[in-house]
């Protein structure tokens, strides 16, 4: 403890202490009769280091010195800080998305003990011409993923499987199930709106450990057939529709025209179990008996069907039980149960197995969708940061050369080499911190921009990223790291000077030591190589987007307005619902400026319905359906190859007619003319209801189910023919307009409001917007990569320009002599440009093989081209060389303007 | 010039403390000379390590310094042992002997 006070005393009387030490050493020198005493200053510094908290003191000195140096070199500081800010900002914003999508846990109690249940089976390939079923999953509702190699994985189960898992209490303290309701019509005090909901089993909220924000959440007793219909609404929905959480409990709301009582409100941060879907309302699972049409077998059949896969299951692990243990415990009972549901030997051979996966992050819909793109973007912004670092290292190197005398002086008066390196490093870290600070500001802006870009006009976009301590910590660490990386090499390099020659050197034309030049040239070449990678990526994505946008749709996308109505959810029933829809079609067609109106049960882009269609008693393969209204082909401008469009006279009660696509005709009738032949809608089994229809027209193929998919054989049926198992629900109206389609929205809204105010108008968009949304990722990639490529090129060119200007300045005298000896201006320009070319070519030689090798990694993001697309690569090379020449030309020209007399006199 | 050995690491404090115990208050040069003489010129104390060591010992409170007239009529700092320094010396010697004995056992022919 007293040593502390001795140090403190020293701190206040340091001059005296140092004078004493000096005197003591001089005394020693005098007695020993030796004149010199080694490095006195270093000895003094050592002793000072012993006495004080020198580290902090020196840090303070270094910081002050660094700030002064930065202020003295404003242009350099601004340039370096700006390029770092862009690099760090881009990395921070992409990382914040990764943080929110890939790393964040559900906002519930102990998320780490949650588990998600999935199953995995052999690949469920569509088996053509095979008789009988090959999998126990006879019918599924929900998403499955996988491919023909890894097999199929999904998180949907039959209800009896849920009951089986619920019974087991060795692994789980709670098992709960849920599935999305789809869009609901939710009316409160006569105001109808669209809401997203989730059906949840009785233990859902208890299992997740979520407390109510007001009222109560759903309990086991609510989830029973015949229980009074209650609903829980989300905090955000209570704010937007009820003006707060107070007085919500006990209110009556109409959901799809059925009265429900609001039981309570979920807490503000809660968003369900899937970050990709934020439900507005939670309903007891058995309430689906009130709200849904029964797909098959009548009310409640889906709860008994052991081969219908539809509910998602999560569970909370008993404390001390691991995921692997839970899986081991449950594998056998699940296997036995699922084996008992098999109806033939093939099914028994292809049984799915149970997977128990980590559930802290909820369902992984978003992770699956965005993890690959995000890792890709993170790689790109990482490359940009590397370019920025190389650039600053280069600038520092040039500056260090200019500071050689200063550094030599410091070393000669006794500064330790490490001490000088530390001081130089402090400068770079201060610079990087400034860059990091500006980078975070840039990130705040770019996160907003990226969110907009990702959402691309989707109003229900649920992805939210923000700056939290996680992200800010990462940004700070990144700044320090980059500071150390770009600062270290120049610092080590510049302190490796031979003191005497450097001191003697008085701004002469003496050429640079060879090593400096080659290090800085190496940095430029690597910047060129990295820029090439980003340019190739940009080229590939711009071409992909161009390919997608020029895909032949088969219909005219311009001046087409789309919107959706769901009359069934507002209480309309068969057969009146069909005339409700056709009356509206009539009224829309009378709006001035509307040229043609039609409707279909899905839009072409989002279509994807398959029901059995047979020709002469044989079921057709892979046939897709679309239920349409009159004048569909006229409105979409899909050319008819033979026969006619659907017309008003084709109504319920009249002779059933149908139109088929070119591909369907070719696949099922070959070269014969199918007009006049008949088709059958419905299964081939003895109990199935069947409808026979006459083919009255053949249409040219048009994109069905998205622009990227191959066009399937399609049958277009009038919507009044929708079977009882697939009743008329929502309709998408297509309006061909004169001029901007969105200008008609108000008149349309008025017409719908007058017809039935309970039916909300949703998904209002132009056909162009709808298509853009389906290729949103490609648009985003093309835009971002282009921006990144410009940024990378800009930074690299600034570096090239700086280095060449510096080289020309150093060689002024030499060039002067050359010109005095008769070198031409053109020759001098070429001499400088040759150096530029050589660096760019080295960059190409490094970058091109890397680009070719890595572009395969993005193959899945491309459309209509190979990853080694020659056009994209050639364009990237051309852009890079052009940029290099532009950046190198100004210094080259300056070199050619050197006046030999001035240059030599300067000597 | 005869062969001179480096002072074994960690023993400089012990040598300085022992010197001060034997000859009483002394300045840096005197301490170095004394060690050199007693060791028959085998141990050479470099000033580059002597003065930092003395500074450290001042900080630790094992020695105190006092400015007095030296033999060449100049001012010099004379170091003298504190009670804490005596205790430290005993501890260092005990430790040194333990280690030396151990090393001897290891290198003795079997």
The string of pLDDT tens digits covering residues A197-209 is 999 999 999 999 9
Cβ–Cβ contacts within 10 Å for residue A14, how many? Answer: 13
Q: In chain A, whose CA is at the least distance from the CA of B62? A: A3
Residue A105 has a pLDDT of 82
- Calculate the average pLDDT of chain A: 85
More confident residue, A880 or B51: A880
Least confident of A270-279, A459-468, A785-794: A459-468
> Could you read off the pLDDT of A678-709 as tens digits, one per residue?
999 886 555 667 889 999 999 999 999 888 88
The two most distant CA atoms of chain A are separated, in Å, by 128
Alpha-carbon span B35 to B49, nearest angstrom = 14
Q: A622: pLDDT confidence band, cut at 50, 70 and 90?
A: confident
Give the model confidence (pLDDT) of B78-102 as tens digits: 999 999 999 999 999 998 898 888 8
Say yes or no: A14 contacts chain B, CB-CB below 8 A.
no
Q: Kindly determine whether residue B72 and residue A7, on different chains, have CB atoms separated by under 8 Å.
A: no
Q: Chain B window 4-43: which residues touch A at a Cβ cutoff of 8 Å?
A: 27-29, 32
- Tell me the C-alpha distance between A761 and A272, whole Å: 26
Alpha carbons A158 and A161: distance in angstroms, whole number: 5
- Whole-number pLDDT of residue A500: 56
The whole-number average pLDDT for the span A522-537 is: 92
Q: Is beta strand A311-317 parallel, antiparallel or unpaired with respect to A114-121? A: antiparallel
Which domains are present in chain B?
12-107 (1.10.10.10)
pLDDT average, residue stretch A400-406 = 74
**If you average pLDDT over residues A702-721, what whole number do you get?**
91
| pLDDT recorded at residue A267 | 92
pLDDT-derived band at B108 (thresholds 50, 70, 90) equals confident
Least confident piece of the model among A609-613, A703-707, B30-34: A609-613
Residue of B27, B37, B45, B47 to mutate, interface with A, max A Cβ within 10 Å: B47
Structure tokens at A672: 């014969």
Minimal Cα–Cα distance from A412 to chain B, Å?
Answer: 19
* pLDDT average, residue stretch A625-647: 95
Among A437-441, A511-515, A763-767, the range scoring the smallest mean pLDDT is: A511-515
Q: What ipTM was predicted for this assembly?
A: 0.80
Cβ of B29 and A20 within 8 Å? no
Least-confidence region, from A15-29, A284-298, A825-839: A284-298
Q: Is the pLDDT of residue A512 over 50?
A: no
Q: Do A43 and B52 touch (CB under 8 A)?
A: yes
Q: Chain B: nearest CA to A45, how far in angstroms?
A: 10
Residues of chain A neighbouring B29 (CB-CB closer than 8 A): 27-28, 31-32
Residue A413: which residues within 8 A CB-CB, separation 6 or more?
A41
Least confident of A324-333, A895-904, B7-16: A895-904
| B56 Cβ under 8 Å from any chain A Cβ | yes
Q: What is the DSSP letter of A101?
A: I
**pLDDT band at residue A20, thresholds of 50, 70 and 90?**
confident
Among B28, B48, B59, the residue with its CB nearest the CB of A24 is B28
Closest-CA residue to A161 (of A294, A313, A346): A313
Between B79 and A399, residue with greater pLDDT = B79
**Pairwise CA distance, residues A372 & A643, whole Å:** 47
Q: State how far residue A50 is from chain B, nearest Cα, in angstroms.
A: 7
**Which among A2, A27, A37 is the nearest to B27, CB-wise?**
A27
Q: How confident is the model at residue A48, as a pLDDT?
A: 65
**Could you give the CA distance from residue A230 to residue A209 in angstroms, rounded to a whole number?**
20
Q: Is the pLDDT of residue A461 over 80?
A: no
Report phi then psi at A470, rounded to 5. -50, -55
Burial class (CB in 10 A: 0-12, 13-18, 19+), A867: buried
C-alpha A717 chain-centroid distance: 38
Q: Indicate the Cα dihedral angle A176, A177, A180, A184, nearest 10°.
A: -70
DSSP three-state, residue A223: coil
Contact B47 A37 (CB under 8 A): yes
Name A788's Cβ contacts closer than 8 Å, sequence gap at least 6: A90, A380, A381, A384, A534, A537, A538
For position A580, what pLDDT does the model report? 95
Task: Count CA atoms closer than 13 A to A652's CA, side-chain side.
Answer: 12
**Across A788-806, average pLDDT:** 86
Chosen from A2, A27, A30, A53 to mutate, greatest number of chain B CBs within 10 A: A27
User: CA A806 to CA A715: how far, in whole Å?
Assistant: 71
Q: How much is the average pLDDT of A26-55? A: 68
Instruction: Report phi then psi at A351, rounded to 5.
Output: -65, 140
Which range scores top for mean pLDDT: A50-54, A76-80, A452-456?
A: A76-80
Above pLDDT 70, what percent of chain A? 90
Tell me if B77 and A31 make a contact (CB, 8 A cut-off). Answer: no
Alpha carbon distance A708, A347 (integer Å): 33
Per-residue pLDDT at A128: 46
Contacts of A51 in chain B (CB under 8 A): 55, 59
Mean pLDDT across A569-576 = 87
- Residues 324-353 of chain A with CB under 8 A from chain B are none
Residue A548 neighbours by CB under 8 Å, 6+ apart? A707, A708, A775, A778, A863, A864
Return the pLDDT at A477: 87
- Which pLDDT score, from 0 to 100, does residue A63 have? 85
Q: Which residues in chain A have Cβ-Cβ distances shorter than 8 Å to B32?
A: 28
Looking at chain B from residue 61 to 80, which residues have their Cβ under 8 Å from any Cβ of chain A? 61, 67, 70, 72, 74-77
CB A589 within 8 Å of CB A597:
yes
Residue B60: list chain A partners with CB under 8 A. Answer: 3
- Does residue A850 have a pLDDT over 90? yes
Which tens digit of pLDDT belongs to each residue from A146-198?
A: 777 788 888 999 999 999 998 888 899 999 999 998 888 888 887 788 888 99
Domain ranges of chain A: 2-52, 111-360, 367-549+776-906, 568-758
Judged by a CB distance cut-off of 8 A, whether residue A31 touches chain B is: yes
Quote the pLDDT of residue A545.
92
Beta strand A311-317 with A281-284 is unpaired
The answer to whether A785 touches A453, Cβ cutoff 8 Å, is no
* Contact by Cβ (8 Å): A157, A313: yes
Judged against a pLDDT cut of 70, whether residue A907 lies above it is answered with no
């Amino acid at each position: 403890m007293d040593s502390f006070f001795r140090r403190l005393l020293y701190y206040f009387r340091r001059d005296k202490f140092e004078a004493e030490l000096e005197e003591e050493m001089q005394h020693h020198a005098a007695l020993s009769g030796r004149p010199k005493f080694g490095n006195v200053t270093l000895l003094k510094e050592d002793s000072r280091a012993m006495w004080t908290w020198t580290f902090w003191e020196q840090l303070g000195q270094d910081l002050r010195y660094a700030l002064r140096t930065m202020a003295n070199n404003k242009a350099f500081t601004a340039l370096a800080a700006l390029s770092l800010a862009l690099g760090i900002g881009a990395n921070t914003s992409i990382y914040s998305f990764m943080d929110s999508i890939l790393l964040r846990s559900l906002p519930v109690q102990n998320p780490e003990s949650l588990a998600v249940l999935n199953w995995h089976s052999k690949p469920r390939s569509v088996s053509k011409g095979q008789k009988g079923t090959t999998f126990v999953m006879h019918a599924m509702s929900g998403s499955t993923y996988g491919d023909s190699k890894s097999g199929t994985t999904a998180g949907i189960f039959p209800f009896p499987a849920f009951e089986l898992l619920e019974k087991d209490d060795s692994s789980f303290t709670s098992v709960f199930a849920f599935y999305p309701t789809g869009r609901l019509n939710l009316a409160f005090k006569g105001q109808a709106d669209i809401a997203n909901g989730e059906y949840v089993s009785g233990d859902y909220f208890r299992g997740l450990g979520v407390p109510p924000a007001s009222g109560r959440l759903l309990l086991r007793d609510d989830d029973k057939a015949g229980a009074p219909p209650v609903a829980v609404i989300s905090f955000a929905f209570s704010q937007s529709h009820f003006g707060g959480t107070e007085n919500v409990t006990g209110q009556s709301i109409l959901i799809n025209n059925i009265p429900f009582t609001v039981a309570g409100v979920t807490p503000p941060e809660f968003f369900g179990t899937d970050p990709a879907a934020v439900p507005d309302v939670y309903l007891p699972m058995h309430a689906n008996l009130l709200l849904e049409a029964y797909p098959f077998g009548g009310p409640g059949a889906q709860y008994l069907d052991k081969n219908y896969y539809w509910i998602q299951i999560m569970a909370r692990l008993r404390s001390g039980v691991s995921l692997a243990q839970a899986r081991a415990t449950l594998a056998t009972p699940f296997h036995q149960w699922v084996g008992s549901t098999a109806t033939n030997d093939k099914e028994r051979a292809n049984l799915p197995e149970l997977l128990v996966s980590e559930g802290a992050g909820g369902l992984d819909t978003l992770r699956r969708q965005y993890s690959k793109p995000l890792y890709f973007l993170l790689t790109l912004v990482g490359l940009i940061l590397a370019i920025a670092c190389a650039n600053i290292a280069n600038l520092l190197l040039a500056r260090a050369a200019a500071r050689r005398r200063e550094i030599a002086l410091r070393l000669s008066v006794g500064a330790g080499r490490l001490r000088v390196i530390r001081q130089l490093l402090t400068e770079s870290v201060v610079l990087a911190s400034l860059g990091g600070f500006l980078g975070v500001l840039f990130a705040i802006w770019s996160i907003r921009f990226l969110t907009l870009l990702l959402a691309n006009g989707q109003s229900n976009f649920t992805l939210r990223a923000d700056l939290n301590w996680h992200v800010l910590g990462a940004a700070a660490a990144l700044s320090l790291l980059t500071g150390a990386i770009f600062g270290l090499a120049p610092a080590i390099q510049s302190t490796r000077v031979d003191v005497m020659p450097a001191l003697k050197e008085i701004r002469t034309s003496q050429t640079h030591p060879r090593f400096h030049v080659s290090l800085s040239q190496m940095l430029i070449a690597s910047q060129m190589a990295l820029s090439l990678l980003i340019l190739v990526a940009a080229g590939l994505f711009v071409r992909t987007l161009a390919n997608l946008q020029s895909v032949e749709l088969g219909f005219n996308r311009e001046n087409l307005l789309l919107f959706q109505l769901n009359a069934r959810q507002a209480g309309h029933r068969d057969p009146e619902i069909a005339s409700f829809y056709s009356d509206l079609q009539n009224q829309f067609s009378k709006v001035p400026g509307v040229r043609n109106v039609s409707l279909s049960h899905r839009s072409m882009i989002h279509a994807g319905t398959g029901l059995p269609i047979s020709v002469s008693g044989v079921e057709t393969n892979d046939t897709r359906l679309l239920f349409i209204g009159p004048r569909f082909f006229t409105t979409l401008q899909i050319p008819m190859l033979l026969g006619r469009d659907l017309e008003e006279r084709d109504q319920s009660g009249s002779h059933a007619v149908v139109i088929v696509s070119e591909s369907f005709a070719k696949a099922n009738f070959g070269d014969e003319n199918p007009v006049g032949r008949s088709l059958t809608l419905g299964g081939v089994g003895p109990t199935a209801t069947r409808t026979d229809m006459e083919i009255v027209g053949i249409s040219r193929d048009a994109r069905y189910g998205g622009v990227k998919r191959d066009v399937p054989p399609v049958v277009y049926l009038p919507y009044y023919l929708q079977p009882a198992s697939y009743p008329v629900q929502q309709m998408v109206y297509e309006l061909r307009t004169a001029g901007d389609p969105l200008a008609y929205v108000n008149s349309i809204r008025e017409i719908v409001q007058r017809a039935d105010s309970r039916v909300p108008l949703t998904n209002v968009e132009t056909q162009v917007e709808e298509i853009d949304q389906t290729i949103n990722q490609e648009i985003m990639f093309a835009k971002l990569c282009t921006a990144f490529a410009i940024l990378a090129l800009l930074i690299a060119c600034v570096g090239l320009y700086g280095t060449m200007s510096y080289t020309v300045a150093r060689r002024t005298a030499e060039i002067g002599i050359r010109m005095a000896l008769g070198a031409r201006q053109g020759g001098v320009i070429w001499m400088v440009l040759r150096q530029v070319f050589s660096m760019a070519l080295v960059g190409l030689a490094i970058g091109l093989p890397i680009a070719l090798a890595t572009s395969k990694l993005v193959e899945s993001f491309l459309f209509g081209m190979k990853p080694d697309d020659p056009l994209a690569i050639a364009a990237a090379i051309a852009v890079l060389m052009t940029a290099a020449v532009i950046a190198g030309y100004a210094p080259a020209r300056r070199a050619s303007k050197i006046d030999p007399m001035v240059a030599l006199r300067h000597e | 010039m005869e062969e001179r050995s480096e002072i074994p690491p960690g023993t400089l404090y012990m040598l300085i403390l022992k010197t001060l115990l034997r000859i009483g208050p002394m300045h840096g040069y005197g301490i170095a000379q004394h060690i050199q003489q007693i060791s028959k010129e085998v141990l050479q104390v470099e000033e580059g390590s002597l003065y930092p060591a003395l500074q450290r010992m001042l900080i630790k409170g094992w020695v105190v310094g006092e400015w007095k007239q030296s033999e060449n009529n100049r001012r010099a700092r004379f170091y003298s042992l504190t009670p804490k320094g005596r205790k430290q010396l005993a501890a260092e010697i005990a430790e040194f002997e333990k280690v030396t004995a151990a090393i001897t056992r290891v290198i003795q022919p079997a």
